[in-house]
A and B are shown apart, each in its own frame.
Chain A
Amino acid sequence: MADGLALASQAILVQGLTKRFGPRAAVDDISLSVPSGSVFGFLGPNGAGKTTTIRMLVGLIFADSGELRLLGEPMPKAGRKVLRRVGSMIEGPGFVPYLSGEDNLRRLLSATGASSRDQKLFARQALDRVGLGPAADRKAKQYSMGMKQRLSLAWALALPRELYILAEPTNGLDPSGMREVREVVASLAQEGSTVFVSSHLLGEVEQICTHVSFMTQGKIVLSESLSELRSHHQRHLEIVTDDGVLAKTLLLELSQDLSVDVGADNVLRVRGLDAGPKDAVINRHLVEGGVEVSSFVSVATSLEDLFVEYVGEGFDVR
């Protein structure tokens, strides 16, 4: 058991993975390491290559080069064996429209080799877990977008697995559905499973993840634990005053470590706080210098700020 754990200390290990579609590299020589037991947020703008990466992880697309291991097993070679230990939700729902929700799950369960009795049991349990119990007998084509999304989630959860790969699990869900997904992810992590979740909803990820990775234009530009990330991306102050220019002069006079941006409406963003003076000192200095401070807030760096910093704000989709 200990050996098995050691082998699988990385739930997902990717090295030098590349996938081209024609001349364009959708995934360009990426490496990624997802520790067992982590909740790993995989972020990036549309067209970044997240989906292509995930499809390679679960053996739907074949890489042009590079190495890929799931739970210590090589993919796609060991796919039949290792994918049984992986629950996946791949980029939106895909179900047989004329089968009921329950029959769709049973069909997939039967493909994994579950007995007829287990199929019924697991399908029912999973549908109840995502709140689809009452709609179990309705045909999948009658489901709303949100219900289909829940059905995909139900499939990912239908069997106890060591790794869950969830692509955009909150797409199309209402706020309570999103919250339920967060709770489900938290409970999976609590049971000791690894959860790899791709999303473009940064707020979502920030709330549930232990690790994050940013991907853009086929490359991974950042991959770290959230606590590490926070430790070297400090908070900043947002100060609203009546005279931004004067405030800036005062602050720079107070300490060389501070950097100050004056935004619209005299909002100052003050960085470099770790080496600089205490917040209270800054505030006193401004007030004594004759600046009226109407608001003084310490802001933690959000994932969104980091995302923009690493990925940029562009809307170009390749």
Chain B
Amino acid sequence: MFAEELRRTFTRPRNLVILGLIGLVPILLGVVVKTLGVGHGGGGPPFFGQITDNPVFLVLVALSTMQTFLLPLLIGLVAGDSVAGEASSGSLRYLVAAPAGRVRIIAIKTLVVMLFTLAAVLTIALTGGITGSLLFHVGKIVTLSGSVVSNARGVVLTIEAALTVGVSMFSVVGLGLFVSTLTDTPAAASAVAVGVAIITEILGGIPQLIHVQPILLSTYWSSFTDLMRTPQVWHGVGRDVLESFGWLAVTVIAGAVNFAKKDLLS
């Protein structure tokens, strides 16, 4: 069933459109910078000034611009749809009566959306890398600490950064899945998941809430930039991963418990 679900998710037209959209962002960024230049004054997201130096930086800029909105939106959409979408088409009742096992359904769907998330961030790394090397030159990679690393190391760093961002989205995956077990309306589930993710970003910006911040979804999202130091600083990334998996565990367990006891009336 896992293989079937995985295949279905990665061949579903809507999901392919999502991956396409995600992959398009680094290309757009590259074309804009190529056409209009980086500009002066040092504004923009981290690494924006170095974007023409090496494809690595294009990927990093794409990751940090998408992490705050586009990724949570699209991942929340897919996760929120995972159970509620089947409830609304009526296929859920056939799956449960098949019998597929209620907890097993949640476990498999969680795993598949997690893999989809990782595929999404790796798509950014791939199209960003290709676009960067076609539009700009493959030059020096200067880290935040000022040292220079090799291109091979740069590829590894890009993948590390992408996967870190991917893992940081797992909290959104869990949240979407949980809400998805609460409703038969996929749009509502997606909207709530995305809404909560964005609300935590807003709360994260309020200084008075400093004590709540460690458990907010988005607090450590930008920590992947620490990977670009020499030596790499893993403190924030570690927190990010821990926090994301923590949310994932709590929300998926809540979702599984809710789904295991739920009357399926759809």
Residue in contact with A96 in the complex, picked from B1, B89, B96, B98, CB distance below 8 Å: B89
- Find out whether the CB atom of B99 lies under 8 angstroms from the CB atom of A107: no
Known contacts A61-B263, A61-B264, A99-B8: A111-B99 contact under CB 8 Å: yes
Q: Which of B225-266 contact A (CB under 8 A)?
A: 261, 263-265
User: Once bound together, how far apart are the Cα atoms of A110 and B14, in whole Å?
Assistant: 23
**Cross-chain contact A95 with B99 (CB below 8 angstroms):** no
Assuming the contacts A96-B91, A110-B1, asked whether A58 and B12 have C-beta atoms less than 8 A apart, the reply is no
Q: Is residue B207 within 8 Å, beta carbon to beta carbon, of the partner chain?
A: no
A143 within 8 A of B: no
Q: Are B97 and A80 in contact (CB under 8 A)?
A: no
For residue A84, give the distance in angstroms from its CB to the closest CB of chain B.
Answer: 7
Asked if B34 is an interface residue, CB under 8 A from chain A, the answer is: no
Q: A94-B89, A95-B91, A96-B86 are in contact. Are A83 and B98 (CB under 8 A)?
A: yes
Give the contacting residue for B100; candidates A93, A111, A155; CB below 8 A.
A111
Would you give the shortest CB distance from B83 to chain A, in whole angstroms? 13
B99 contacts across to A, CB distance below 8 A: 59, 79-80, 83-84, 111-112
| Most chain A C-beta atoms within 10 Å of own C-beta, residue among B4, B8, B13, B98 | B98
Given known A-B contacts A59-B97, A80-B99, A111-B100, A94 and B13 have beta carbons under 8 A apart: no
Q: Is A111's CB under 8 angstroms from B98's CB?
A: yes
Which residue of chain A has its CB nearest to the CB of B263?
A61
Q: How far is the CB of A162 from chain B (nearest CB, A)?
A: 15
B85-115 toward A: CB 8 Å interface, digit per residue (1/0)?
A: 0100111111111111100000000000000
- Min distance, Cβ B174 to any Cβ of chain A, angstroms: 23
* Interface membership of B152, Cβ < 8 A: no
> Residue of A at shortest CB range from B96?
A60
Chain B residues near A98 (CB-CB < 8 A) = 12-14
Question: CB of B3 within 8 A of chain A?
Answer: yes
The CA of A155 and the CA of B100, in the complex, are separated in Å by 14
Who on chain A is nearest to B99 by CB?
Answer: A83
Nearest B residue to A141 via CB reads B89
Which residues of B are found within 8 Å of A90, using beta-carbon distances? 93-94, 97
Among residues of A, the one whose C-beta sits closest to the C-beta of B100 is A111
Q: Which residues of B contact A61 (CB under 8 A)?
A: 263-265
- Chain B residues 1-36 with CB under 8 Å of chain A are 1, 3-5, 8, 12-14
Chain B residue numbers with a CB within 8 Å of A83 are 97-99
B150, chain A: closest CB distance, angstroms: 44
A192 within 8 A of B: no
- Give the shortest distance, in Å, between A159 (CB) and chain B (any CB): 10
A95: contacting residue among B14, B94, B96, B264, CB under 8 A: B94
Interface SS of chain B: helix
A74 close to chain B: CB less than 8 A: no
Quick check: B90 and A58 within 8 Å, CB to CB? no
Q: Give CA–CA (A95, B93) in the complex, Å.
A: 10
Report which of B3, B91, B100, B101 forms a contact with A94, defined as CB distance below 8 A: B91
- On whether the beta carbons of B98 and A108 are closer than 8 Å, the reply is yes
Q: In the complex, what residues of B have CB within 8 A of residue A92's CB?
A: 90
Instruction: Say whether A112 contacts B98, CB under 8 Å.
Output: yes
* Closest CB in chain B relative to A13 CB, distance in Å: 19
Q: Which residue of B lies closest to A58 (CB)?
A: B97
Q: A88-B97, A111-B1 are known contacts. Are A97 and B89 too (CB-CB below 8 A)?
A: yes
Contacts of A99 in B (CB 8 A): 8
Nearest CB to that of A107 among chain B residues?
A: B4
Closest partner residue, chain A, to B261 (CB atom): A62
Which residues of A are found within 8 Å of B14, using beta-carbon distances?
A: 98
A150 close to chain B: CB less than 8 A: no
Identify the 6 closest CB pairs spanning chains A and B, nearest first.
A94-B90, A111-B100, A83-B99, A110-B4, A60-B264, A58-B97
What would be 19 A-B contacts, judged by CB atoms less than 8 Å apart?
Answer: A55-B93, A55-B265, A60-B264, A61-B264, A61-B265, A83-B99, A84-B99, A90-B93, A94-B94, A95-B94, A96-B89, A98-B13, A108-B94, A108-B98, A110-B1, A111-B4, A111-B95, A112-B100, A155-B94
List chain A positions with a Cβ less than 8 A from chain B.
55, 58-62, 79-80, 83-84, 86, 88, 90, 92-99, 103-104, 106-108, 110-113, 152, 155
Further 12 A-B residue pairs, CB within 8 A, beyond A55-B264, A96-B89, A155-B94: A58-B97, A60-B264, A60-B265, A83-B99, A90-B94, A94-B89, A96-B8, A96-B86, A107-B8, A108-B94, A108-B95, A111-B1
